[in-house]
Amino acid sequence: MAMSSPERLNAADILAFHAEAGVDIALEETPQNRFEEGAEKLEIRHSGSQPDLGLARDRQQNSKSATADLHAAIRNPDTRSTPPLDSGFELRSPRNDSNSSPAPVPPVAPDAAALEARAMASKAASLEALHEILKTFDGCALKKTAKNLVFADGNPKARVMFVGEAPGADEDREGLPFVGRSGKLLDLMLAAIGLDRTSAYIANIVPWRPPGNRTPTPQETSICLPFIKRQIELANPEILICLGKPSMQTLLGINEGIRAARGRWREYDTGTRTIQAMATFHPAYLLRSPNEKKFAWRDMLSLKKALAG
């Protein structure tokens, strides 16, 4: 049965919502409520055999009995209560079981991860080396949920460097910053003053996409900060442009709003020299608030004048 136009639009909206939230893989064609179905039903469905209701009831009763015995043993270790052999439970010491899985490695504390990031970033003698170091860094949990490391795009020898906050879904898929809708707008902004990705260097403070495009936490930002600082130092641009309030606050230490702070020239200390820096609106914000584009245009004209001067 063919869907009507409103039904197709509704289905497209639902798919777009899930894709934006990071749900981009379908595991099975038929949706399953795994909170409602037990392991027996799943095993029966996959094997194609018919359920033996009597056996299922027996196993369920044995499982409940074994669970009760196990809880009793935990409350009173002297009883040494042992579950039934056919219950699926087996009391054993993990130390003597060569087939048991190793204990999960606890996550690195944020402070320790930030210190590790600082030490690793300081060892990078080039942008290529920094890229390779980031590939091996496991201190940020975002790496486990992202598809790709989003390091940079454009010309690393360009006179101007743009830094945003974090990659989105399109950037995560392609492994490059600013390639989605906001990236296309950034390209238009660059073209308006005679620049493109061969004459600009583009990166983000956080190089991994947060799940669902959420805002990075302060801990995630602080862990990744040593890497972007080293990236700016190694690229050594003449001008740094912070795209959006988070980038401005993190790199320039400005706590006021982006509307009041944008368009004003400041200094950024790379550790070896100071360079001109300015904050402007993030392209994603301009897509939501097109009336602000006139202010971003003024900022781009100011950038053009600085490059010409």
pLDDT at residue 159 above 60?
yes
**Does 23 score more than 70 pLDDT?**
no
pLDDT digits (tens, 9 = 90+) for 34-79: 556 555 555 555 555 454 555 455 555 655 555 555 455 445 544 4
pLDDT of residue 88: 43
Whole-number Å distance between alpha carbons of 218 and 110: 10
Tens of pLDDT, residue by residue over 178-223, are 999 999 999 999 999 999 999 999 999 999 999 999 999 999 999 9
Look at residue 97 in the predicted model and tell me its pLDDT: 46
Please state which of the four CATH numbers 1.20.1740.10, 3.30.70.930, 3.30.930.10, 3.40.470.10 is assigned to the domain occupying 110-308.
3.40.470.10
Q: Give the pLDDT mean for 24-30.
A: 59
Beta-carbon contacts of residue 202 (< 8 Å; ≥ 6 apart): 152, 153, 154, 161, 162, 163, 164, 177, 178, 186
Residue 94 clears pLDDT 50, i.e. is over it = no
pLDDT of 165? 98
- Scored b (16 or more CB within 10 A) or e, 219-248 reads ebbbbbbbbbbbbbbbbebebbbbbbbbbb
Predicted confidence band of residue 33 (pLDDT cuts 50, 70, 90)? low
Q: Is the pLDDT of residue 298 over 80?
A: yes
The arithmetic mean of pLDDT across residues 87-110, rounded, is 51
In the predicted model, what is the mean pLDDT of residues 96-110? 56
Instruction: Quote the pLDDT of residue 306.
Output: 97
Q: Say whether pLDDT at 175 is over 60.
A: yes
User: Is the pLDDT score of 145 beyond 80?
Assistant: yes
List the chain domain ranges: 110-308
CA 136 to CA 82: how far, in whole Å? 45
Q: Give the integer Cα–Cα distance in Å for 190 and 43.
A: 57
| Cα R_g (the chain), whole angstroms | 27
Which pLDDT score, from 0 to 100, does residue 27 have? Answer: 56
Determine which of 31-45, 130-144, 277-291 has the lowest per-residue pLDDT on average: 31-45
State how far the alpha carbon of 285 is from the alpha carbons of 50, 138, 160, 244, 282, in Å: 56, 31, 21, 8, 5
Give the chain's mean pLDDT.
82
Best-predicted range by mean pLDDT (5-14, 29-38, 257-266)? 257-266
